[in-house]
Amino acid sequence: MINGILNVYKEKGYTSHDVVAKLRGITKQKKIGHTGTLDPDAQGVLPVCLGRATKLCSLLTEKDKIYECTLLLGKETDTQDISGTILEEKETEHLTEETVKKCIQGYIGAYEQIPPMYSALKVNGKKLYELAREGKEVTRMPRQVQIYQIDILAMDLPRVRMRIHCSKGTYIRTLCHDIGVQLGTGGCMEELLRTKVSCFAAEDSRRLEEIEMYMKKGELDKILIPTDRMFSDLRRITVGKKEARLAYNGNTFPAQKQADDMCCHADEEVRVYDEQQQFIGIFYYDEKKKSFKVRKMFLSQ
């Protein structure tokens, strides 16, 4: 089984599920999961986890993200992006760059955002976009998201090119819509590129055809990111055979009397490896019992 993470560049026209399906065909492996949806018209970084690394999917979904997008003012659509049906068009000639800039920068910080109807969120077990396609609209509760930074890259009204650093769960097309509403002209998202998810950057990502080429050459390991690299900020400890047998099954094992372990402080998380340097998982130190307890397993025998 292939275990690790691929930094995939999702191209236009593919859903995140399409990318997973393509990779299952390329790798001949079923155990694959993506780390957060991107709309079909969006492009950019989509980390995909394979094998044991699928345990990281929820962790990576929680990470901050950076996007570059084009806001088009003067058009409001049902999907909040340019691919949707135009609901209303308004003049934008009266807008000034200073007014638009001030409005956009007002969204930096905590922000109550109402999820769009065209989204994969579920209400009573049914996805919102399914209801939207049936012509139904339901009440959605606002959710607090965090906009850490917005940089205006270019402004040629009615278009504004922006870079946005935000928390998980932020809909960039909804942000574009809300800016348009506040300016009184309406607005929608014209383009979207996700440039970063956690430590995964667009400049290091690979398109599906590149990944297929590496796979055919038997060189996938050249671009496959090891699971334990996601925890490189944690201290690494290697355990003996006795401790490893316990760790393989997620059991608590005693701290060894060696310098590394003696440095552990209460509840410190560490990366645990066996003598063959296989990554077992993340354990934390129980100072009272002088032992390590499992936090997340990545290897079992």
Kindly list the catalytic residues. 39
Asked whether the beta carbons of 194 and 202 are under 8 A apart, the reply is: yes
Angle, CA 271 vertex, CA 297 and CA 60 arms, to 5°: 65
Beta partners for residue 32, in sequence order? 50
Asked whether the beta carbons of 119 and 129 are under 8 A apart, the reply is: yes
Asked whether the beta carbons of 78 and 132 are under 8 A apart, the reply is: yes
Going by the DSSP 8-state scheme, the letter that residue 206 receives in this structure is: B
Question: Which CA distances in Å does 39 have to 70, 227, 268, 270?
Answer: 15, 26, 38, 36
Asked whether the beta carbons of 4 and 190 are under 8 A apart, the reply is: no
All residues at 6 or more sequence positions from 209 whose CB lies less than 8 Å from its CB, including other chains: none
